[in-house]
Structure formats: structure tokens, C-alpha cells
């Protein structure tokens, strides 16, 4: 049985470009474009599922764990919406960048260089974010099990990843990496992409039931992402702990 989900090559890959996390025109430009739709989707679903009614700070007192937080691109907006945020990442370089940026913006976010299996906490979280991370880990099942252990009963886990289809190979690798050069070549490995039904079945084993899965589509003309019924490339799901 594996006791580690860290893929050293993947960590090294992202550590090398960690200084560019907050540059909207740098190596993480696609994530900056992706961020608005992710933030809205997460916020709206938390409000809806937890039945929150607070217009000023819609996520007030919601305890969020952002796994594979990188430089803090999602952690910071969640904090601004009122949540109590903890970010973990297996890359020390990413964590240093995230800490520095949060400090500069006077945001109280706790960051740790950890992976979920070796992150210890007394209190479980209301929400766990796994955004564009599971396609980079060493052992998906062990990773999901470790994440589930950190989530409270009736808590929500959000997972965004890439479907394993011919279309995702053409769009996310050939298109995004080789043709459009939106991402550094080698960012993704198609073999690590995950079909939604595999994810649903794997999470059932760890007490997580699917609440809904949506596709995410990029409109080249509008230069923006939107939620779509098409799950053939990018998709995002929410799962409730039972």
C-alpha cells in the first residue's frame, strides 16, 4: 500500500515556474482566465448546499482546505469572501510564494508545505478544494482517501480535472500546449486524465457521494470560460461526505 501521493517530477515541474504564479500574462495565464468561473461555481454551490444567507461575506466562517494551492490563486479569493482558509501544497517554493503574496495583501491564510496524507489537523474542514491537482498526483485512490479523512460529515469536496477522451488529448495537450502555447509543453500527461465515472466510483468508497458534475468550456471569441453540459475536456464536480 502506498503511503505517499507526491509525484516528484510533477512537483519539480511546478516549482520551476513558481515565481510566475501571480503574473496574469505568465506561465499560469490559463489559470488566471479559469479563476473567475471556478470562484463563482465554488461560492454559489457552498451557499446553496449549506444554505448560507450573508450577502457581505457569503463564505463567513466556512472552513476551507485548498489542496495543491500553488501560489494561492484560489485561497485568496475564498478568504476575501469570508472563509477561514488553509492551503497546502507539496512544493515548498509554491508555499513560499503564496505566503509572501498573502502577507503583502494582509490576508490571514495559513499555508503549509504538506500533502493530504501527512497533513494533521484537529478539526476537519467544511470544504475541500481539489482544483486541477488529481491529474498530477502519484496515487489517485490513496490521494482521495487522504482528502476524505480531512473532510467533516456533510462537508463538500470540489474536484476539477480533465476527462480522458480523444477530445481532451486534442484540446488540452495538442491544442493548449503545442499549438496555442497556453501551457508549457509537458504540463499534462493524458494517461493521468480521469473519467468522471471512475471518480464517482472511487469516491463512493471513501464516503463521498456525487452531488453534481458540470463541464467547463472555453469560448475563444469571448476569451472566457463558462459552465457547460459538455464534460468531454474539463469538468468540475461536487461531492458530499456521508
> Lowest-confidence range among 63-77, 109-123, 124-138, 164-178?
164-178
Residue 74 confidence (pLDDT) above 80:
yes
Mean pLDDT in residue range 17-28 = 93
Domain ranges of the chain: 8-241
Q: Which residues of 203-228 are buried (b: 16+ CB within 10 A; e: fewer)?
A: beebebebeebbbbbbeeeeeebeeb
Between vectors from CA 138 to CA 135 and to CA 128, what angle results, nearest 5°?
60
Per-residue pLDDT tens for 109-129?
999 999 999 999 999 999 999
Per-residue pLDDT tens for 207-221?
999 999 999 999 989
Mean pLDDT in residue range 186-190 = 89
The per-residue pLDDT for 11 is: 92
- Give the architecture-level CATH label for domain 8-241: 3-Layer(aba) Sandwich (3.40)
pTM for the model = 0.94
Mean pLDDT in residue range 143-157 = 98
The per-residue pLDDT for 27 is: 87
Look at residues 168, 132, 159, 138 and name the one whose alpha carbon lies nearest to residue 31: 132
Compute the mean pLDDT over every residue in the chain, rounded to the nearest whole number: 95
Residue 147 confidence (pLDDT) above 90:
yes
The per-residue pLDDT for 21 is: 96
The per-residue pLDDT for 220 is: 86
Per-residue pLDDT tens for 1-16?
456 888 999 899 899 8
Amino acid at each position: 500500500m502506498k503511503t505517499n501521493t507526491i509525484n516528484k517530477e510533477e512537483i519539480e515541474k511546478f516549482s520551476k515556474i513558481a515565481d510566475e504564479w501571480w503574473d496574469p500574462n505568465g506561465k499560469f495565464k490559463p489559470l488566471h482566465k479559469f479563476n473567475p468561473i471556478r470562484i463563482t461555481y465554488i461560492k454559489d454551490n457552498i451557499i446553496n448546499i449549506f444554505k448560507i444567507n450573508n450577502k457581505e461575506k457569503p463564505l463567513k466562517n466556512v472552513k476551507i482546505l485548498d489542496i495543491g494551492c500553488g501560489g494561492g490563486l484560489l485561497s485568496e479569493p475564498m478568504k476575501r469572501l469570508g472563509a477561514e482558509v488553509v492551503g497546502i501544497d507539496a512544493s515548498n517554493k509554491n508555499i513560499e510564494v503564496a505566503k509572501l503574496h498573502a502577507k503583502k495583501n494582509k490576508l490571514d491564510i495559513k499555508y503549509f508545505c504538506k500533502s493530504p496524507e501527512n497533513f494533521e489537523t484537529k478539526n476537519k474542514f467544511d470544504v475541500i478544494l481539489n482544483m486541477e491537482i488529481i491529474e498530477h498526483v502519484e496515487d489517485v485512490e490513496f490521494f482521495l482517501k487522504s482528502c476524505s479523512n480531512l473532510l467533516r460529515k456533510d462537508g463538500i469536496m470540489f474536484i476539477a480535472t480533465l476527462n480522458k477522451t480523444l477530445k481532451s488529448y486534442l484540446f488540452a495537450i495538442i491544442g493548449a500546449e503545442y499549438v496555442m502555447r497556453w501551457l508549457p509543453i509537458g504540463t499534462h500527461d493524458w494517461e493521468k486524465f480521469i473519467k468522471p465515472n471512475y471518480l464517482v466510483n472511487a469516491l463512493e468508497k471513501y464516503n463521498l457521494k456525487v452531488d453534481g458534475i458540470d463541464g467547463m468550456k472555453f469560448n475563444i471569441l469571448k476569451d472566457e470560460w463558462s459552465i457547460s453540459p459538455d464534460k468531454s475536456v474539463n469538468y468540475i464536480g461536487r461531492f458530499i461526505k456521508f
